[in-house]
Structure 1
């Protein structure tokens, strides 16, 4: 069968690649065309647009880049029509993907949505729209089942695909030597995969270096950026930078500073104590604070429904608070408590296999849509 996938950021590229791999097992004749990234491209098929040209963070950023977004949307719609897939598989990225879902549904194309939009966070009535334009919804967070049920919508809970990727990970025994890292404990810096968040967060992360002379800071670089781009934020300091080896970095890290997003959950599943940081545009944050109705922004805290990791948001994301918060989790009671909470989180998350379960459900649905 022919599958068209749309992923608009790094995490979607990761999950899309795992799903493609599983679909090739469930459907040996699978063909792929997609908006995605390097990981999906490694699985074959045709990459139409890289997510590096698509990901814009925040309300004002979307407005400022509206022409680019509209062009990308037009390209996607035209390409889907020309390809005529058996199924459109949308991966998170709701601002873009829900519009693509509506278009495809109106054209008679079956729509599967993998990784639910965060409709539980704000404007919950969007569920009514999802019910109209999505044929099958596959969720990866445990609490989403009850949420959708409260809106009389049945969904499939498949587990979390991060568990698949982490289970597949094999540590590189020469990681530290290859990158000429010092014989010091590592503090990993994960400033995100989008230009706006890197530029807002990395300078603050790096501003704490001199406060921890006994540790070595290492930056996890995102696909689509060059070393020279990151060097501009270093202030002349030689800060190691690694690309495509974030899991190796987390495997060796003693602690981490992490941009809010999927990486916070990955860091927790690697049992690395962390501080979560987030900065958005002033107008975007003001709007978000009026609309968003959740207690936390990090997936770790949301899943556990309590404060496990400290979140430094907007004005709280500064050198002084970051230094204090990071220092508290390098050793002592705060670190031990967080590690215990991570163990409980791992139990809640369950076992690997989300990609395989989703692939099986998609192929089953396509073979017999009436039964579902």
Structure 2
């Protein structure tokens, strides 16, 4: 069968790559064309556009790049028509993907959505377009099934969180060799995860780096995103007491003692690695003012949302500053606080569903297509 997959960011590239592996495994005749990143490209198929050319963060940033976004949508529609897929698989990225779904539905193309848009957080009225345009929805957060089925009478498939597989299937590393390879000291490591987009890295990293001088008994290491070159990070690193490691986030988390993490998928990844963390988020003043009026959530991190309580501290906008960050970092280095966090992390893993999300999703997609 012919599959057209659209993923518009780093997390979608990871989950898309694992879904592609499962599809190739289960369908010997699979032909895949996709929008994604390096991980999906390694699996096979034909890469149409890389997500680094698509990712615009925040309301103001989207407005500034609206012409590029509209051109990408037009290009995508034409490419889909030429490819003539048996199914269009959309991975999160709703601003772009919902427009493509509306178009594809009118063209009679089957639409399967893997990883739901977060309509439980904002833009809940998107449920009407989802019910109209989407043939099958695969959700990865436990509370999403109840949200769709009980509140909106729209049946969905809960497949568990694909991060459980991504982490379980990774190659194990030797910590001593890892430290030697990247010239790390013997001090406990505090990982800095400033995000994957240039806009968020600019907002987050400078404040994160100020902690290195305040906690001299620890080794601070920046987790470089695969979508950004070292040259971009270099201007933020003004002292040699901080190390930089690109595209090895899982390896880094596996040997880290604590972490400071920009809100996003990385917050859940860090928790599943059982690393005590502080979640941070800061955007432009305009984007924040608009966002806080539209988003109705008690928490911003996936960890706290899944657990429905504050497991990890969230420092948002003005609360994300040098003084507050130092205070909270001291807290997660405290043994008593760390012990409580570990217990919550194990409960979080149970709530996130069993392993095999990619396999389950591929099975369900193929079963539905073959029965239609």
Same fold (TM over 0.5): yes
1:344 paired residue number = 347
* Contact 2:104/2:111 (8 A) holds in 1: yes
Give the match's secondary structure for 2:147: helix
Structure 1 position 235 matched with structure 2 position 238: yes
- 1:40-189 matched pairs, under 5 angstroms: 40-149=40-149, 150-173=151-174, 174-189=177-192
Aligned to 2:316: 313
Give the TM-score normalised by structure 1: 0.98
Kindly indicate whether residue 13 of structure 2 is the aligned counterpart of residue 10 of structure 1: no
Q: CA deviation at 1:242?
A: 1.3
CA distance in 2, matches of 1:357, 1:224: 29
* Unaligned residue ranges in structure 2 (runs of 5+): none
Compute the displacement of 1:113 (Å): 0.4
Residue in 2 that maps onto 1:301: 304
SS in 1 for 2:142: coil
Q: Answer yes or no: is the 8 Å Cα contact 2:276–2:341 preserved in 1.
A: yes
Cα distance in 2, alignment partners of residues 350 and 65 from structure 1: 37
Contact 2:159 2:353 in 1 (8 A): no
TM-score after normalising by structure 2: 0.98
Matches of 1:352 and 1:246, distance apart in 2 = 21
Residue 17 of structure 1: how far off its partner (Å): 0.0
| Contact 2:87–2:109 (Cα < 8 Å) also in 1 | yes
Q: Output the CA distance in 2 between the equivalents of 1:157 and 1:349.
A: 10
Q: Does 1:278 align with 2:281?
A: yes
Cα distance between partner residues in 2 of 1:247 and 1:255: 13
Paired residues for 1:204-223 under 5 Å? 204-223=207-226
For 2:165 and 2:350, how far apart are their aligned partners in 1? 15
The count of corresponding residues between Structure 1 and Structure 2 is 369
Write the distance in 2 (CA, Å) between the matches of 1:167 and 1:231: 32
* Cα distance per residue 1:297-318 (max 9 Å; x no partner): 0000000000000000000111
What is the CA-CA distance between 1:207 and the residue it aligns to? 1.3
- In the alignment, the residues of structure 1 paired with residue 353 and residue 117 of structure 2 have an alpha-carbon distance, to the nearest angstrom, of 21
Identify which of 250, 254, 266 aligns with 1:251.
Answer: 254
Q: 2: distance between equivalents of 1:97 and 1:281?
A: 24
Alpha-carbon distance between aligned partners in 1 of 2:198 and 2:371, rounded to the nearest angstrom: 43
Aligned-pair distance for 1:238? 4.7
After superposition, the CA RMSD in angstroms is 0.9
